[in-house]
Amino acid sequence: MLKAIRFVAIASLVAPMFLVAQSSNVTLPQDKGPGKIDVSSYPPEQQKAYKVFDNKCAKCHTIARPINTTMTKAEWERYVKRMMHKPNSGISDSQGKEIFEFLAYDQQMRKDKNPSAFYKSLSDEEIEKLRSQQH
Ligand code: HEC
């Protein structure tokens, strides 16, 4: 009985923390960069995928975050999966795939040509450090 009460008490404290954790509550350096990409020279399917990306990846943090982050193709694949699997991400498998293909293309076209204009992705520890400095 006591165990059950303790469980409910802990669960009610922890559940809201999970809800908050979905949304980003930290500003990363890349969040302050430009919030759009000129895709006018991209192939039509990439222009279409850009809209999905712009719509889906701005739910929990600014779209500037992925726009100004440089990663390898393999890292983008992992990252899109990680974002998709966050609770309430609202991103389906097929949308995730389309977004990943867009990010891989954009990485090659825009970021790999001028890497110093972009930010490398941060480790969880680096993000935690920024979070504690900002709160
Ligand atoms: C459900 C909420 C949510 C959605 C949707 C989401 N993200 Fe995120 N994203 C986060 C959180 C949380 C972090 C971790 C840092 C933080 O706490 O702000 C993060 C961090 C990032 C980072 C920072 C990487 C680094 O380490 O510097 C990138 C890039 C990123 N997201 C890209 C994307 C892309 C691309 C999409 C769309 C496929 C996306 N996000 C959709 C919540 C989300």
User: Which among 57, 8, 12, 3 is positioned nearest to 30, based on CA atoms?
Assistant: 57
Query: What predicted TM-score, i.e. pTM, was given to this entire model?
Result: 0.86
Task: Measure the N-to-C terminal CA separation of the chain; round to a whole number of Å.
Answer: 38
Q: Is residue 73 within 6 Å of ligand 1 at its C-beta? A: no
3-state SS record for 43-67: CHHHHHHHHHHHHHCCCCCCCHHHH
Both structure tokens of 19: 């809800």
Q: Apex CA 74: angle with CA 38 and CA 46, to 5°?
A: 30
The helix (H) or strand (E) run that includes residue 105 is helix 93-106
pLDDT tens profile 121-130: 999 999 999 9
pLDDT tens track for 93-107: 999 999 999 999 999
Q: State the total domains in the chain.
A: 1
Question: Is the distance from CB of 28 to CB of 65 less than 8 angstroms?
Answer: yes
Residues 6+ apart with CB under 8 A from 26: 127, 130, 131, 134
pLDDT bucket at 6, cuts 50 / 70 / 90: confident
What number is the average pLDDT over the span 71-94? 95
Pocket test for ligand 1, best of 65, 71, 81, 122 (most atoms within 8 A of CB): 65
Q: Is 99 in the pocket of ligand 1 (CB under 6 A)?
A: yes
| Residue whose CA lies nearest to ligand 1 atom number 15 | 24
Report residue 25's pLDDT band, with 50, 70 and 90 as the boundaries: confident
Percent of the chain with pLDDT over 70: 86
Which residue range forms the structural domain that includes residue 64? 2-134
Q: Are 129 and 78 in contact (CB under 8 A)?
A: no
- Centre of ligand 1 from the C-alpha of residue 4, in Å: 35
Supply φ then ψ for residue 56, to 5 degrees. Answer: -85, -30
Q: Which atom of ligand 1 is nearest to the CA of 126?
A: 26
